Structure 1
Amino acid sequence: MAIIDRALSLLAFAFKHPLAFVYIALQEILSLVFSPSPPPPTDKLHRPRIAVIGAGLTGVSSAAHCVGHGFDVKIFEGRVKQKGLGGIWSRVNSTSALQIHSIMFRFHPSVKWDSAYPSQKKIKEQIVSVWERYGLEKKTVFDTPVQSVKRNSAGRWIINDNEVEHGTFDGIIAAVGSCGDPQMIQLPSHEKFKGPTFHSSELDGKQVKGKKVLIIGGGASAIEALEYAVKCGAAEIDVLSRSDKWVIPRNVFVDMLLALNIFGGETSLSWIPEWFLRRFFYRDLDDISPANKGLYTDTPMVNSQLFDQIRAGKARWLRGDIISAEEDGILFNHRAKGVPKGGPGHESQVRGDVIIMATGYKRPSISFLPDQVFEQRYAPPNWYLQVFPPQDPSICATNSTYLNAIGTVGNYHIGIYTRLLLMFLVDPLTRPQEPLMKLWIDLTRFLKKFAPTKAFDFFTYAELIYWYCFVSIINPFRWKWVPFIFFGMFRGLPATVVEQEDRFRELNGKAE
């Protein structure tokens, strides 16, 4: 009877919410087909053993892929569990939510969203769920900042010079991300301002109802702070932005289409999507669209409500430079469209009761890695596939070296990068040599030499997939690994082949 009731309830949901039903069903299929099975509690994982640095979204997902494929890990997190597990999603406001569609935020195949734009709470719940599902509780140490990563006399990695406590590792995944501690700027004469000042990540419980709110910054944090102020009933909201950033619709089809630019940068045809955005999305607010910046030069903001708030008179978006703080606001130099930072403009005081610093986050350091991987011409982000230092392919810095991109947030690539690292460790014949890794970097630089940004300063998801395909095809010894690299499937077949190759090399060595 219970089964029948459940089936009827499911049919009713499918009838009332067909798109949501299809999305949930699709996630179930993806999880069933592509999620590696969690290891049994009594199962002994084997080498290669991976040190994962960071217990955020990327670190947890990477570690889950490792143990799901039978390899041992240990996660090192510098913060306590409450602030560390989940990464930045454990330290932002409870009102925070995804700006992109959750289908583009599937950081692990087993993730199951129940809404298109889940909240901070839901996102952290999914991260913790993956962490628990794959038995990573017993493989994580919190409040343990990583200060150094070095090789011992046997050529294995040791963390913080503490081989006794942590053991040794065959590979390193640096998953510290790009958002660390909140970044605050010092305003000229800030002490004059009589009202409170908050960082945009610390708005929970702050009262701004009926007040004039000044938001400093022009990125995604500024939009989130604006939405918070609107919901809280602020009387006036002014966003003070030094530069213009592209804003694209909160539409999964538009976002995916823009990410399909395989050239990974501005081209002679980039004016087409830029024209469409100005004509049909910005419309009467074209003045706040970037004048001298291409769409494929900087990470765009994703939001569809921003312009509605401005048109409704609930907020203003002001371009210019802050001159100084005053008792009841900020003296601001308003610049016209196209005038660069610090250029001429019109000075006036923008009044406010509260200042919100939407100034982003400090980038976490990866200086704990060996000095040799920071070679001047081949320092991050100029690495092989942007995450493997050419000096040592046993290190992978997923989501920790990129600067700007479109369509690359916590999606398909985390698993691919992890499996590439596992392939390099398990199969010596697939490992790229330093000269060839540097040659690939130089080739990418050459192909993108006419791009307005440097080769690795901006990329699209289509370009990323091209990188994966190219490096998989260029080495015949990697062909047997392709289903594993891209889908996590059939690991047993190439592993068996590697065993035969090892046996053949051993016999051949004895014969010589």
Structure 2
Amino acid sequence: METINHAKSILTFAITNPLSFVYLIIQQILNWIFAPAPPPPSEKLRRPRIAVIGAGLTGVSSAAHCVGHGFDVKIFEARSKEKGLGGIWSRVNSTSALQIHSIMFRFHPSVKWDTAYPTQENIKEQIASVWKLYGLDKKTVFDTPITSVKKNSSGRWIINDNEAEYGTFDGIIAAVGSCGDPQMPHLPDHEKFSGPTFHSSELDGKDVKGKKVLIIGGGASAVEALEFAVSNDAAEIDVLSRSDKWIIPRNVFVDVLLSLNIFGGETSFSWIPEWFLRKFFYRDLQDISPSKKGLYTDTPMVNSELFNQIRAGKARWLRGDILACKEEGILFNHRAQGVPKGGPGHESVVNGDVIIMATGYKRPSLSFLPDNVFEEKYEPPNWYLQVFPPQDPTICATNSTYLNAIGTVGNYHIGIYTRFLLMFLVDPLTRPREGLMKLWIDFTRVVKRFAPTGAFDFFTYAELIYWYCFVSIINPFRWKWVPFIFFGLFPGLPLAIVEEEDRFRPNGKAK
């Protein structure tokens, strides 16, 4: 009877929510094909051993890929479990939600979303689920800031000079991300403002009902703060943005199409998607669209509700410069479209009762890595495939070196980068030499020499996939690894190589 009732509930859900049902089926198929099976709890994992620095989304996903393919890991997180597990998603407001469609946020194949735009709680739950599924709860140490990563006399990595407690490692995954502590820049004469000031990540429990809210900043945090103010019945909302930023619709098909630019930057055809966005998305609000900034130069905001709030008269988007704080608000220099920062404009006081600093986060430091990986011209983000320092391919800094991009978030590349590292570790013939890694970096600069940004300052997802294919093809010793690198298939292949290597190690087994 229970089975029959369960089948009926599934059938009812499929009939009443056909799109959601299809989405769940697709996710189940992706999980079945691409997710490596977690090893049994009693199974002793094999070498190589990898240190993962950071227990955020990228660190947990990378470690799960390692463990799922038979490699041992240890995750080091500087913060407590409450604030560290899940990374930035454990430190933002409970009202935060995903701006892009969740199908573009599948940070690990085993993730199962039940909604198109999950909330902060949903995202934290999925990260914790992957963490537990792969037994990473037993392989994580919290409250452990990393101060140094260096090699011992045997060429193996030591964390914080503490080989006795943590042992040694064959590889390093630096997954500290790009969002650390809240960034709170100084506002001129801030002490004169009579109301409270909050960072956009600290809005839980704050009361703005019936108040005039001033939001400082023009990025994704500003949109989130605006949505918070609207949902909490603020009387007036003004977003004070110093720079122009592209906004693209919350539409999975449009977002995927925009990420298919294989050149990874502005081209002579970039005016086409920009024209369409202004004509059919901005429409009557084209005056707040960037006039001198190309779409493929900066990470765009993904939001469709913002323009609805502006058109409904619930919010204003003001371009200009903050000159000083006043008791009743902010003295603001309003600039016209196309006028650069600090340029001429019209000064007036924008009244407000509350200031929300939507000014983003400080970028976490990679200074714990060896000094030699910060060589001039070949420092982050100018690394091999943007994440491997040419001085040592046993270091992989996934999602910790990028600046701007258009594409999915963790949907595919976390696994690819992790498997590249695993391949380099177990098959020395696939490792790129320092000179060739630097040659690839220089070659990329030549290919993107006409880009308005630096060669490694902006990537599209299509460009990344192109580089993955190129790097896999140019070395014949990597060809046998292609199904593993791109899809995680044939998990026995790396283990078989490790077993062959074990025959030549002391005692016949890697320790």
Q: Report the TM-score when normalising by structure 1.
A: 0.97
Is the Cα–Cα contact under 8 Å of residues 381 and 457 in structure 1 kept in the other structure? yes
Partner of 2:292: 292
Q: CA deviation at 1:495?
A: 5.0
Q: CA deviation at 1:46?
A: 1.2
Partner of 2:406: 406
Is the Cα–Cα contact under 8 Å of residues 149 and 369 in structure 1 kept in the other structure? yes
1:121 aligns with 2:125: no
Is the Cα–Cα contact under 8 Å of residues 381 and 387 in structure 2 kept in the other structure? yes
Partner of 1:49: 49
> Matches of residues 46-195 of structure 1 in structure 2 within 5 Å?
46-195=46-195
Distance 1:308 1:118 in 2: 21
Is the Cα–Cα contact under 8 Å of residues 481 and 491 in structure 1 kept in the other structure? no
Partner of 1:389: 389
SS of the residue corresponding to residue 324 of structure 2 reads strand
Is the Cα–Cα contact under 8 Å of residues 426 and 497 in structure 2 kept in the other structure? no
- AA paired with 1:412? Y
Deviations 1:472-496 (A, max 9, x none): 1110000101111011111324654
Partner of 2:358: 358
Is the Cα–Cα contact under 8 Å of residues 246 and 295 in structure 1 kept in the other structure? yes
Distance 2:19 2:38 in 1: 30
Is the Cα–Cα contact under 8 Å of residues 408 and 460 in structure 1 kept in the other structure? no
Distance 2:215 2:409 in 1: 25
Deviations 1:129-187 (A, max 9, x none): 00011001110000000000000010000000000000000000000000000000111
Structure 2, unpaired ranges of 5+: 505-511
CA gap 1:215/1:131 in 2 versus in 1, 3 angstroms: same
Identity rate, percent: 83
Partner of 2:242: 242
Q: CA deviation at 1:4?
A: 1.4
SS of the residue corresponding to residue 49 of structure 1 reads strand
Distance 2:293 2:58 in 1: 30
Partner of 1:29: 29
- AA paired with 2:291? A
CA gap 1:107/1:254 in 2 versus in 1, 3 angstroms: same
Partner of 1:16: 16
CA gap 1:125/1:8 in 2 versus in 1, 3 angstroms: same
- AA paired with 2:15? F
Is the Cα–Cα contact under 8 Å of residues 156 and 168 in structure 2 kept in the other structure? yes
Is the Cα–Cα contact under 8 Å of residues 77 and 84 in structure 1 kept in the other structure? yes
Distance 1:192 1:6 in 2: 62
Deviations 1:429-471 (A, max 9, x none): 0000000000111111100000000110000000010011000
Q: CA deviation at 1:39?
A: 1.3
- AA paired with 1:461? Y
Q: CA deviation at 1:376?
A: 0.6
Distance 1:185 1:428 in 2: 47
Q: CA deviation at 1:409?
A: 1.5
Distance 2:46 2:444 in 1: 36
Distance 1:82 1:503 in 2: 44
Deviations 1:293-339 (A, max 9, x none): 00000000000000010000000000000000000100000000000
Q: CA deviation at 1:503?
A: 7.7
Is the Cα–Cα contact under 8 Å of residues 480 and 494 in structure 1 kept in the other structure? no
Deviations 1:368-411 (A, max 9, x none): 00000000110000000000000000000000000000014121
Q: Report the TM-score when normalising by structure 2.
A: 0.97
Q: CA deviation at 1:499?
A: 6.2
Distance 1:209 1:381 in 2: 43
- AA paired with 2:148? S
Distance 1:206 1:412 in 2: 37
CA gap 1:248/1:20 in 2 versus in 1, 3 angstroms: same
Is the Cα–Cα contact under 8 Å of residues 260 and 462 in structure 2 kept in the other structure? yes
SS of the residue corresponding to residue 377 of structure 2 reads helix
SS of the residue corresponding to residue 213 of structure 2 reads strand
Distance 2:85 2:375 in 1: 32
Partner of 1:510: none
Distance 1:11 1:503 in 2: 54
Q: CA deviation at 1:8?
A: 1.3
Distance 2:45 2:429 in 1: 23
CA gap 1:500/1:45 in 2 versus in 1, 3 angstroms: closer
Partner of 1:198: 198
Question: What is the aligned length?
Answer: 506
Is the Cα–Cα contact under 8 Å of residues 384 and 438 in structure 2 kept in the other structure? yes
Distance 1:423 1:190 in 2: 53
SS of the residue corresponding to residue 376 of structure 1 reads coil
Distance 2:146 2:223 in 1: 33
Distance 2:502 2:2 in 1: 55
CA gap 1:90/1:501 in 2 versus in 1, 3 angstroms: closer
Distance 1:388 1:145 in 2: 22
> Matches of residues 314-329 of structure 1 in structure 2 within 5 Å?
314-329=314-329
- AA paired with 1:278? R
Structure 1, unpaired ranges of 5+: 505-512
Distance 2:164 2:496 in 1: 33
Partner of 2:309: 309
- AA paired with 1:417? Y
